[in-house]
Structure 1
Amino acid sequence: MSSGTKFRVAICGAGIGGLTVAVALSRYPDIEVEIYEAADKLAEIGAGIGLFSRPWEVIKKLHLEEDLLKTTDIRPTDSPVPSFRYRRSDRPEGIEFYTLVTKGQLMTFHRPDFQNVLLRRLPPSYRIHCSKRLRSYSQRLGGPVNLLFEDGTRTSCDVLVGADGIRSAVRRSLLGEKAQWAQSENNWSEAADMTAMIEPSWSGTNAYRALINADKLKLRDPNHRVFTQPTQYLGRNGYIIAYPIAHGRMINFVAFKSQHHLEHSKYPESWVCPTDKTEFAAMFRDWEPEVQALLDCVDKPLRWAIHTVKPLNSFVSGNVAILGDAAHAMTPHQGSGAGQAIEDAYILSLLLGHPLTTRATISRALSIYDHIRRPFALKTQERSRLNGQYFTLSSPELDFDAVPEQEMLSKLKILGKVFTKNWEWAWMSSLGGSVQEALRLLESSG
């Protein structure tokens, strides 16, 4: 560590959250950063990523907007725009019943393009270590955080940021550490709660993801609506979302199959694996022709068993913090997982980079991060869960079973208003209030 270094930050995980916090910290030259990635090379798993206006604020503040806009045909705006069209599609003739109008455009990107923009913005001094899967960490009050990797190597840092995804080793160590502290004070109930939060649980939903070649879909249906308008096709216990990415060369396709009664059960198979579309196409066999056109063009889908992290009672411990999926992995039904990781990263970087944050006051900065971000992220997690019920016509609020056509149409219109109200925080609120409150708390504690 050079004489001009304030402290050293280790980031576990080089996904969207980890790279965003690295880029955000690069604004503070007195902070050293090293990134540790479990994979043997950097490659984002997944297809599309969507950002509403809140995380887009961060993109602009980090001056990433220009590079990201080169990867998409969508242009940001502050005007009200139609973001998704909604159809009830589990019938031979679909019904369009709602248009989601948002303030500002949903910005959609090909996930590897997004990651590459972040990678190009890292300073040359930042080192990325691949094939470095964390086993555990240990820390003592006032001392460094010691990291042990699965290959037996060790290193240390002043701040550890866990951005290592839903199966986070940092979360496992953090909650294990807190459970031990609780046990040492004979607080067995709290220790048990901490231990129960370590493992993710299945949401009861599987997602079947694929990229559809746009030219292939044009041959099948040259006037398909998804070329010009992101669309969600809803039905009982499942739905499909499709929208163009990569300058319109590809269509991001995701089909969801939900068994809500199995929420929180243990998933019996591999979480992510290649599959054949026959595994899920049968569920959509009687759905409208637009859906059939999409299904006909699906090649090599991946099945993702959607897991979530139980609501945590802390994102921090001493000089360690977790963010993104490591802290609050959520269902994808509000398209906000990546956006929440970006917001986490920005608030955390502001607090760590502040002149009042020194090696001696790191834990105070992290406690403010937890105070600001955890309640909001957990509320978003629950809102996303509710959207999953709305989109699969499974909400207890609205019963769609065996209702007359006219009543069904009326309920669909109500449904659109209900999920909009549940979702409008994503484009009607701003991160600015959280930034101001975080800085106020830090400065008042100095």
Structure 2
Amino acid sequence: MNPRSERLHVGIIGGGIAGLALGIGLNYRHVSFTIYEAAPGLNAIGAGISLGPNTTRAMALIDPALREGYEKIAIKNRSPEKRHNFADFLLAEPGLGAARGFHGAAVGSKDFVRSGAHRKDLLEMMKSLLPGNDCIRFGFKAISVCQVGKRVQVSFEDGQAAEFDAVVGCDGGKGITRQAVLGHQFPDQVQLTYSGRYVYRGLVPPGKAQEILGKYADDSKIFIGQGRYFAAYPLSGGGFNFLGGRQKDEPWTHSHSTQEVSRDDMRNDFDGCDPRLLELLEWAKPLRWGLFHHLSTPTYTHGRIVLLGDVAHASTPHQGAGAGQCFEDALILSHLLGQITDDQEIPAAMEVYDSICRPRAQEIVRTSNDTGLLYTMTHPQCADDVAKIVASAKGRFQWIWTHDLQADLAKATEDLDRLRKQA
């Protein structure tokens, strides 16, 4: 073990993508850690995850083995000529826009190679990079996190407790660590807020999507419409993942983030869409998933407790950037914790992490919500003007994909050194 980090032990609350990414980064930098996950095993809820080039660069910087492992399971657009496409934009109306003379528009960049992975495959690959089973403990549901002096105490539902030099909350949008960081100063910013949209999710078995959509099933597609949209992309093994989204500017009054409805209610949400999309919809469960986000988070840190991933910046899925931000967070925080020479530097490292990661992450949350307005033709500057929507979409992603992570790392080192000298 690196002697600089022997005295430092980090508790990670949450064993999803964010927690595993941080664990891999800390392990690569010889920082001791333990991950606590409430579920009895890896939680593979969800199908595909879209990852941009900024994410794969972050993976390589976290640990080269992470990038190598990802490339073995990555799913890309099937058509070689569309490898640089984020998605082809079409209309959700009958004919998919042909009646207007619109035959689709590619949104992408030469700097972008579309890729993604099945959540289960990604989590299993990431877990394999951890140093044995002792560093991750399943079935440990954290119920409180608080700092006492220079230690952070975590209490679990089964009555057990643990202490750490620092605790990182990676426990998802509703995670308890958000209360620990924001509850005292910013109690009104703890809870998720509803975006005004919900989605239905579906998986189509191999071959069936081609029967329904033909050539449109080969690559990533977004079908935009008035108050509704579909997003769809192929999965490994020939499967096909899609979601149908609905914009309704009404409060979410249900006690849970999902609502069961009748199949007729689901169909009515997409009344007037192309018959092929309605046939695709039959593979979805009539379950509305509310899209919630953390549109405003004043700080990611409080003393020796810090937020990472969705618990910090839960986002809507419209830019395919939420999961990627977890890896960027993990890169910067593991880099900073790996440089600590004295545990008294932990609060300074957390402060630097917040100053680098939070502005970018919160802008991604904001612009993702804004992009959802494009997809549903409710954006105040574009409305249902297809040319304006496409032009806006083409200019929305470059700043996400081309972000200079090496510059972030250099700034993190410089800022931590500056705070050391001031101490």
2:28 counterpart SS class: coil
1:99 counterpart SS class: strand
User: Of residues 398, 409, 414 in structure 2, which corresponds to 1:435?
Assistant: 409
What code does the residue aligned with 1:258 have? Answer: Q
What code does the residue aligned with 2:91 have? Answer: R
Is residue 2:234 matched to residue 1:244? yes
In 1, distance between residues paired with 2:88 and 2:108?
9
Where structure 2 has 5 or more consecutive residues not aligned to the other structure, the ranges are none
Matched with 1:98 is 105
Deviations 1:301-343 (A, max 9, x none): 6532111124111100111100111001111111111011111
1:96 counterpart SS class: coil
User: Of residues 387, 390, 399 in structure 1, which corresponds to 2:383?
Assistant: 399
Give the 3 Å change call, closer, same or farther, for CA 300–345 of structure 1 in structure 2.
same
Matched with 1:408 is none
- Superposition deviation, residue 274 in structure 1: 6.2
2:233 counterpart SS class: strand
Matched with 2:190 is 198
Deviations 1:258-294 (A, max 9, x none): 11x33xx443242136666543222223212431342
- Superposition deviation, residue 65 in structure 1: 2.5
In 2, distance between residues paired with 1:145 and 1:415?
48
TM-score, L = length of structure 2: 0.90
Matched with 1:20 is 21
In 2, distance between residues paired with 1:225 and 1:43?
31
Query: Are the aligned partners of 2:96 and 2:103 in contact in 1 as well (CA < 8 Å)?
Result: no
What code does the residue aligned with 1:272 have? Answer: T
Matched with 1:136 is 144
Matched with 1:116 is 124
In 2, distance between residues paired with 1:362 and 1:351?
9
In 2, distance between residues paired with 1:198 and 1:139?
18
What code does the residue aligned with 2:139 have? Answer: S
What code does the residue aligned with 1:432 have? Answer: Q
TM-score, L = length of structure 1: 0.86
Query: Are the aligned partners of 1:69 and 1:75 in contact in 2 as well (CA < 8 Å)?
Result: no
- Superposition deviation, residue 75 in structure 1: 8.5
User: Of residues 369, 377, 392 in structure 2, which corresponds to 1:418?
Assistant: 392
Give the 3 Å change call, closer, same or farther, for CA 72–175 of structure 1 in structure 2.
closer
User: Of residues 155, 168, 176 in structure 1, which corresponds to 2:175?
Assistant: 168
1:225-304 matches, cutoff 5 A: 225-226=216-217, 228-247=218-237, 249-259=238-248, 261-262=249-250, 265-272=251-258, 277-296=263-282, 298-300=283-285, 302-304=287-289
What code does the residue aligned with 1:240 have? Answer: F
Give the 3 Å change call, closer, same or farther, for CA 271–75 of structure 1 in structure 2.
closer
1:7-86 matches, cutoff 5 A: 7-29=8-30, 31-61=31-61, 62-63=63-64, 64-74=66-76, 81-86=84-89
In 2, distance between residues paired with 1:433 and 1:328?
22
Deviations 1:26-52 (A, max 9, x none): 1122x2211111112222211110111
Query: Are the aligned partners of 1:277 and 1:301 in contact in 2 as well (CA < 8 Å)?
Result: yes
Query: Are the aligned partners of 1:83 and 1:229 in contact in 2 as well (CA < 8 Å)?
Result: no
Is residue 2:396 matched to residue 1:388? no
- Superposition deviation, residue 239 in structure 1: 0.6
In 1, distance between residues paired with 2:96 and 2:364?
34
In 1, distance between residues paired with 2:341 and 2:170?
21
In 1, distance between residues paired with 2:223 and 2:195?
20
Matched with 1:214 is 206
Query: Are the aligned partners of 2:204 and 2:239 in contact in 1 as well (CA < 8 Å)?
Result: yes
Give the 3 Å change call, closer, same or farther, for CA 131–393 of structure 1 in structure 2.
same
Aligned residues: 410
Where structure 1 has 5 or more consecutive residues not aligned to the other structure, the ranges are 180-190, 401-410
Structural RMSD (CA)? 2.4
Give the 3 Å change call, closer, same or farther, for CA 306–357 of structure 1 in structure 2.
farther
Give the 3 Å change call, closer, same or farther, for CA 40–108 of structure 1 in structure 2.
same
2:389 counterpart SS class: helix
- Superposition deviation, residue 420 in structure 1: 2.4
